[in-house]
């Protein structure tokens, strides 16, 4: 009897010891930023282990955000041998779902996976700091919430209750799940105890009764208050990429005049800013720049033009006259050129769009119909556009 009792106690000890050896991995969103070239809000996804020598194998990436503020775009910058699965599953809640998390709009739920698929170069998780394995990008759905004057602090909520053992906020799901590479046999995986640091959101201690928490402004960014336009030697076509703090064209291009780079600026009607020499020196016959307009700019060397101000409030209407125009592009992010002008194509009013390099959007007829040789419209660029009759192009 004593022998069996001893074995029983020993068994309990071994079970307890094995349980204690299960490593813990904590995940967080961090380092928010804004990418002017794409107009995307970006955050890193970082990990930390409470046990040395732990390598993440895979993760069910499940989180919630306010659909009035953000729209999930992509997972990127995957480190080492990690890869994301295909198109993430996205589910938008009803308007009443906003109250579950204290959002202003309905919740949106993302469910996808990231997994180690190429081995041989392990990334061991830090036990004292944080280890970045990938990032996420989002489209900003509410441009009015993102400005140089206001803090932008969107909530990103990992789908895990305060007690990780309880799993997901929602019935039928386990929420965030992670596994690690077995340190003793790297061809196998081991379970881990998942923990999360919520991002700009805090539990309120009322689970299971909603609301389950509320947004908090902890890690915020602000919209940039300037943009930079690259100019190549010779002629360029540009447009204001922001609402300038001072719209006087002479003030905007003065740094290039001072550098000796500026030769001439011309608008679509032929008015110019140029050096008239002894007849008056540098003279501005254009006046203030308009976000609706594009401008031809000639410089004698590659240089940068910086415009300080605030992003335009969208949607923005660009009036077009019958014939050729030089239009502005008052967005701070790129967009597919064909998509931007599709409204004119659908109205049967567009003839051609052309960029400064001669690339075009035009109807090639039986050679292929409408073709986009420009690609994306870009902030700071202007475009020549020809329409059949007066119209209005709306930039969203």
pLDDT at position 9 is 43
Cβ neighbours of residue 25 closer than 8 Å, sequence gap 6 or more: 47, 48, 49, 50, 54, 56, 125, 178, 180, 192, 193, 194, 195
pLDDT at position 37 is 67
Q: How many residues does the chain have?
A: 396
pLDDT at position 311 is 83
pLDDT at position 384 is 98
Identify which of 271, 272, 309 has the alpha carbon closest to the alpha carbon of residue 291: 309
Average pLDDT for runs of 10 along the chain of length 396? 45 44 95 84 97 97 97 96 92 96 97 94 96 96 80 96 92 93 94 97 87 96 88 97 93 96 97 94 96 97 93 90 97 90 97 97 93 95 98 95
**Taking the model in full, what pTM does it have?**
0.70
Angstrom distances, CA of residue 116 to CA of 49, 56, 59, 85, 195: 17, 8, 9, 11, 20
**CA–CA distance, 309 with 247 (Å, rounded to integer):** 9
CB 163 within 8 A of CB 176: no
CB 94 within 8 A of CB 26: no
Cβ neighbours of residue 237 closer than 8 Å, sequence gap 6 or more: 294, 295, 296, 297, 326, 355, 356, 381, 382, 383, 384
pLDDT at position 369 is 93
Q: Find the distance separating the first CA and the last CA of the chain, reported in whole Å.
A: 80
Q: Could you give the 3-state DSSP secondary structure of residue 100?
A: helix
Kindly report the CA angle at 166 between 178 and 189, in degrees rounded to 5? 20
CB 27 within 8 A of CB 158: yes
User: For domain 23-215, which architecture applies?
Assistant: Sandwich (2.60)
Domain borders along the chain are 23-215, 226-395
pLDDT at position 226 is 86
158-196 b/e (C-beta count within 10 Å ≥ 16 → b) = bbbbeeeeebbbeeeeebbbbbbbebeeeeebbebebbb
CB 24 within 8 A of CB 193: yes
CB atoms within 10 A of CB 150: 12
Q: Could you tell me whether strands 193-197 and 24-35 are parallel, antiparallel, or unpaired per DSSP bridges?
A: parallel
């Amino acid at each position: 009897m004593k022998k069996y009792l001893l074995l029983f106690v020993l068994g309990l000890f071994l079970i307890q010891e094995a349980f204690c050896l299960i490593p813990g991995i904590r995940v967080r969103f961090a380092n928010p930023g804004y990418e002017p070239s794409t107009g995307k809000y970006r955050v890193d996804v970082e990990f930390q282990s409470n046990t040395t020598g732990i390598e993440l194998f895979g993760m069910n990436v499940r989180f919630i955000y306010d659909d009035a503020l953000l729209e999930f775009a992509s997972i990127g910058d995957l480190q080492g041998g990690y890869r994301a699965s295909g198109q993430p599953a996205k589910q938008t809640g009803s308007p009443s779902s906003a109250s579950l998390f204290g959002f202003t709009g309905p919740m949106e739920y993302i469910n996808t996976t990231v997994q180690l698929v190429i081995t041989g170069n392990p990334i061991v998780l830090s036990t004292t700091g944080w280890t970045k394995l990938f990032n996420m990008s989002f489209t900003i759905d509410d441009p009015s919430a993102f400005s140089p004057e206001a803090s932008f602090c969107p909530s990103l909520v990992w789908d895990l209750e305060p007690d990780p053992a309880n799993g997901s906020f929602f019935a039928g799901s386990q929420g965030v799940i992670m596994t690690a590479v077995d340190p003793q046999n790297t061809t196998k995986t081991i379970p881990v105890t998942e923990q999360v640091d919520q991002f700009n959101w805090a539990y309120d201690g009322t689970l299971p009764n909603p609301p389950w928490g509320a947004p908090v402004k902890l890690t915020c960014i602000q919209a940039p208050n300037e943009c930079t336009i690259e100019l190549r030697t010779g002629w360029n076509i540009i447009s204001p990429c922001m609402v300038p703090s001072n719209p006087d064209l002479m003030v905007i291009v003065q740094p290039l005049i001072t550098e000796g780079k500026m030769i001439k600026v011309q608008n679509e009607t032929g008015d110019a800013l140029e050096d008239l020499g002894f007849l008056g020196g540098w003279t501005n016959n254009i006046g203030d720049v308009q976000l609706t307009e594009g401008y031809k700019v000639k410089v004698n060397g590659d240089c940068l033009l910086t415009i300080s101000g605030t992003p335009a409030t969208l949607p923005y209407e660009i009036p077009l006259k019958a014939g050729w125009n030089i239009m502005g592009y008052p967005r701070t992010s790129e967009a597919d050129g064909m998509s931007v002008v599709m409204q004119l194509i659908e109205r049967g009013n567009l003839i051609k769009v052309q960029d400064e390099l001669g690339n075009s959007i035009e109807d090639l007829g039986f050679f292929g119909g409408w073709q986009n040789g420009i690609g994306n419209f870009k902030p700071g660029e202007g475009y020549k556009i020809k329409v059949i009759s007066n119209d209005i192009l709306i930039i969203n």
